[in-house]
Structure 1
Amino acid sequence: MRGLLAVDLARVSAGPFATMMCADLGARRIKVERPGRGDDSRTYDPFIGGRSMYFARVNRSRQSIVLDLRCATDRDLLLRIVDQVDVLVENYRPGVMERAWARHAPARCAQSRLIFVSISGSGQTGPWRECPAYDTVAQAASGMVSITGRAGEGPFIPGVPIVDLAADSTFSGPSVQCAARSGSHGPRNPSS
């Protein structure tokens, strides 16, 4: 994936793991974070030297930029960045990207060679589409936690965000890699 540019608008695990895999394979990776506190996972334990190891595990090999997508100036900057990228990954609730980008981005994306990956824990359509979904919610809803724990003590959540990592390693990461390697998509600015 050398020579490709991946922009990561995703938070926590689902999404950042996919763009981390792109960076591991040679892509340049830019992570967009919100003003003030950045990615939610920056506040997750454990910490070493004041730095969240939870955040660090899927946010290596990246450059960061802070943008407030509610601000017109920042949305315009993101659109200019999107004109240059090969891969865009997001995991907002359904409708957030459409509201943030108004009418401009979908048309620009449709005319570009952009690989757009949208990760939604509860789906883009259907009865649960508006429900927020973190890995622990998906583990509980799937019944996964019902097979953990000790007899008489109840279930407990596994320490690894297995649903997020499975989504990225099974679908998002390989999809991006396959699309990037296909004959119809190549880097905009190939490096030597």
Structure 2
Amino acid sequence: MSSKDEVFEYLIDQLRQRVSKFDVVAEIHKMSIDRTITGRSGYSDKENAIIDAYIGRDSDSERIIHNLKQHLARKDDEIHVLKARLCRAKDKVKELRGTIEHMNLDFDRVTSCHVQEDANTLSDKLEHSDGWIEWRGVGDSPVPNNTKVEVELRFGKIMSNHPSAFRWEQLGAMDDIIKYRVIK
């Protein structure tokens, strides 16, 4: 009686006799323990087949549980590795933020010196040139539209108007702006 069908038939018979499933499993467990002490000879072939099926199911469960425990242990190791990586990444972010902050302070310090130098140079140029500023023709008008400017063209003519009235880019023509000054 080693086939599963026979085992199931026996269990179904037990259920038909209104024995609860828990009672059947508990009884089989008792029989299994008893059989380990007394041996197989104390039980019928049918009972031995049922006990063998129970033991097989039990060993399968143990193997599954063992495999799951190993799987969880591996996952725990992976979690520890990931936590360590996260910690290192957070430390690196802190380090980079410190570096960025340091670079920003250096940039502010250096550019504030250059801005002051540029302002001094521009004011020197304005004093020596009666407010005229050289224009190299790069970009749009350097002054706001609500002001009035005087421009000197390459061929020497000086004109005054709002900045939008002039072509500020240089094309190498005689009417290119070479310098300007704000007259308001």
Does the TM-score normalized on the shorter chain lie above 0.5? no
If each structure's helix is expressed as a fraction of its own residues, which one has the higher value? 2
Which has more radius of gyration?
Answer: 2
Scaled to the shorter chain, the TM-score interval is: under 0.3
- The one of the two structures with greater contact order (alpha-carbon pairs below 8 A, sep at least 6) is 1
If each structure's strand is expressed as a fraction of its own residues, which one has the higher value? 1
Task: Compute the TM-score of the two structures, normalised by the length of structure 2.
Answer: 0.19
